[in-house]
Structure 1
Amino acid sequence: MPITEGTKEYPWKLTTPPQTSEYEMYKDEKDGKTILVCTVGKTVLHYDYRCVNDLAAMLKKHEDWIELGSADEQKPVKEGTVEAWGRSPDNPIGGWYGLKKGLRGRFGMYIPPLLEILGLAEVEHNPRNNRMRSK
């Protein structure tokens, strides 16, 4: 049986855009909804799995580099960034892709590297102010 990456048994091994931290992510089901489980150290974040295709579609439509702008849920977010889009009432789900109250932020930190390894986007790997675009 082939190994399927992105499962609980074989999670994607990812690195944040500045390449300073490693984390794991896998696809799972919770309450009848397909989610991404993102484990960073001992912190476990959940994102609506729709974010993968929705973000890829937004990047294709945007047609240029877009700043990631990662921020914790409680912090203000810079407009026009991936993070702002990931919590905007104007995105396809009408709000937060993050599902765990208090831990819904950091969309711009943890989702872009997944799109990169899935071949859906290019992501910069500078110490700060990274951007992404459709591949």
Structure 2
Amino acid sequence: MELLPIDKDKTKLSAEQLLMQYREKAYFAKMPVNPKITSHWGDGSSPSTAERDPYAVERLVRQEKSSKFVSYIDRAIAALPKQSHQQLLRVRYCQGLETEHPDMTAMDALDISSSTYTERKGKALLAIAHYLNCVVYVTGNNLA
């Protein structure tokens, strides 16, 4: 029995779509929470039985989900065996602010040429796809 072939282009795209969410989720996870939402305020009496604002609860849930997503991506990147892949993915998708030209910013930060960057980025995306469980396999109709 042989392994199914991987659709490399779709796999890289799938991994990149997940990684592109990192910064937004990281910012949301770090956003301060209004203390009135998470703690009891008042004179020490028992908490009110009144319903809480659904928006505030939804925000806390979204913040918790974002925090778990960020942790998941961080662990996946840390599990990559090649340091060059880890560095590239962190610089491109995780560190700093989003820029107009994120690939150029990453190339400058890593001090590598565009051809080297493109090659390493493709390999890093294929590697991280296995850890993120987003590998796309070639289906029966597309087998060569």
Using the size of structure 1 for normalisation, the TM-score is 0.28
Higher strand share: 1
The structure with the larger Rg is 2
